[in-house]
């Protein structure tokens, strides 16, 4: 088990390396540089700034330098937010972003799985059909439409919740963003659970469980659910990506000081180090999600051998 984990982590290093390399050269391929937008600066000061950050060096030297610093856990200084290191910026915003994403994921699982089971058991009734129709809506409608609409209804019309803004420790400000982030993975999970459940309910071992005279709920929760969740487990890593992508717009619409805005802003500002830092953090999160999925597979189906 531990050996398997170590092997997987070792396997993630090349992936991360590819991502870092690609991003490094991609951001530098973009026209312009980090100090272009400040037109008031005379050229010699820009040159000085570039020299100070080592940006006058050939790309591969910068790359080697960046990797060396990274190995020591140093993401470098932000070019745009002067006096801030990338580590500092991310450390400030990440807890809020992780809370948002984590709660959304937990809710999506906690509501999506029962909804999918319900829809599978009532697949030929109006209730099951209605559940799945709702799921299609949840999958299709994008978060940057959902959140403003929710804001219109619950914020502007009903005055129940704030439309945007943030106070530390306030739960009220997080309700609409969390709902928005939850909907797409919730709908997807419900759909996958339903599909898995429908298939598993046809399987021989479920028939055996019924033949043993077990009550229907025991058959469903003890025998059928775990194998039915295999497709859901496979979706978890994409779900993390979906939530991350969603948080980019949700945080900006709701005015939440998470890390979501740094990626786009950093790219627009040519704040190379900030973009790199964000891509690395997000990629690491995604890779860990993938690892978690593998462990989950092994739990859901003991036939899956971890040490293949």
Partner 1 sequence: MNASGGRPCGGLWPDAWHRLMSNRGSVLALCAVGCIVFLAIGGPFLNPNRVDALDWSHVAMSPGLNGGHWFGTDRLGRDLFVRTLQGTGVSLLIGLFATAVTLLIGIGYGAVAGFIGGRTDHLMMRGVEILSGLPLIFFVILVSVIFGRSVFLLFVSIGAVGWLTMARIVRGQTLSIRQREFIEAAIATGAGTRRIIARHIVPNVIGPVIVYATLTVPQIILLESFLSFLGLGVQEPRVSLGTLIADGVGDMESAPWLLIMPGGFLALLLLCFNIVGDGLRDALDAQRR
Partner 2 sequence: MLQIDSLCIEFRQERARVAAVRDVSLALAPGECVGVVGESGSGKTQTFLAAMGLLGRNALVSGSIRFEGRELLAAATSELNRVRGARLAMIFQDPMTSLTPHLTVGVQMAEVLVCHAGLSWTAAKRKALDMLQTVRIADAARRMRQYPHELSGGMRQRVMIGMSLLCEPALVIADEPTSALDATIHVQVIELLAAMRREFRMAIALISHDLGAVHALADRVVVMYAGRVVECAPATAIFAHPRHPYTAELLRCAPNLSAARLNRMPSITGQPPDPAEVLPGCAFAARCARADARCRIERPLLVQSGGAAQAACHHPL
Which does residue 302 bind out of partner 1, partner 2, none, counting CB within 5 to 8 angstroms by kind? partner 2
Residue 150 makes contact with partner 1 by CB under 8 A: no
Sign of the CA dihedral with 33 first, then 35, 40, and 44 last: negative
Q: How far is 178 from 192, CA to CA, in rounded Å?
A: 21
In the set 222, 257, 268, 284, which binds partner 2 (CB under 8 A)? Answer: 222
Q: Nearest to residue 240, comparing CAs of 105, 142, 113?
A: 105
Residue in this structure with the two tokens 């591969």, named with its chain if needed? 60
Sign of the CA dihedral with 30 first, then 36, 42, and 44 last: negative
Residue 145 makes contact with partner 1 by CB under 8 A: yes
In the set 57, 203, 265, 283, which binds partner 2 (CB under 8 A)? Answer: 203
- Shorter beta-carbon distance to partner 2: residue 8 or 122: 122
Piece in contact with partner 2 (CB under 8 A), picked from 35-43, 209-217, 238-246, 250-258: 209-217
DSSP state of 37: S
Piece in contact with partner 2 (CB under 8 A), picked from 13-21, 98-106, 145-153, 203-211: 203-211
CB atoms within 10 A of CB 177: 27
Residue 204 makes contact with partner 2 by CB under 8 A: yes
Helices (H), 30-165: 43-52, 59-71, 86-121, 126-140, 143-150
**Beta-bridge mates of residue 77:** 85
Binding site for partner 1 (CB under 8 A): 15, 18-19, 22-23, 26-27, 29-31, 133, 136-137, 139-142, 144-145, 148-149, 151-152, 156, 163, 241, 244-245, 248-249, 252-253, 263-264, 267-268, 275, 278-279, 282-283, 286-287, 290
């Amino acid at each position: 088990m531990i050996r398997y984990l170590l092997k997987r982590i070792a396997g993630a290093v090349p992936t991360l390396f590819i991502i870092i390399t690609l991003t490094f050269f991609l951001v530098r391929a973009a026209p312009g540089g980090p100090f272009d937008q400040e037109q008031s600066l005379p050229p010699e000061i820009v040159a000085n700034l570039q020299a100070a950050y080592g940006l006058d060096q050939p790309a591969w030297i910068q790359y080697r330098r960046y990797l060396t610093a990274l190995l020591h856990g140093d993401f470098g200084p932000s070019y745009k937010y002067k006096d801030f290191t990338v580590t500092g910026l991310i450390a400030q915003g990440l807890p809020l972003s992780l809370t948002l994403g984590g709660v959304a994921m937990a809710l999506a699982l906690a509501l999506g799985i029962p909804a999918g089971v319900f829809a599978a058991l009532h697949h030929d009734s109006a209730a099951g059909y209605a559940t799945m129709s709702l799921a299609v809506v949840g999958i299709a409608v994008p978060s940057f439409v959902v959140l403003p609409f929710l804001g219109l209804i619950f914020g502007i019309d009903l005055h129940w919740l704030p439309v945007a803004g943030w106070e530390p420790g306030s739960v009220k400000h997080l309700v609409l963003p969390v709902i928005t982030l939850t909907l797409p993975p919730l709908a997807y999970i419900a759909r996958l659970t339903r599909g898995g459940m429908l298939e598993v309910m046809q399987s021989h071992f479920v028939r055996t469980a019924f033949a043993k005279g077990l009550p229907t709920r025991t058959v469903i929760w003890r025998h059928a659910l775990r194998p039915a969740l295999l497709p859901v487990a496979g979706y978890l890593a994409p779900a993390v990506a979906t939530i991350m992508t969603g948080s980019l717009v949700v945080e900006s619409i709701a005015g939440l000081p998470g890390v979501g805005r740094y990626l786009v802003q950093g790219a627009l500002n040519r704040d190379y180090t900030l973009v790199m830092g964000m891509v690395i953090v997000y990629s690491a999160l995604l890779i860990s999600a993938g690892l978690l999925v593998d462990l989950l597979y092994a739990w859901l189906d003991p036939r899956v051998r971890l040490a293949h």
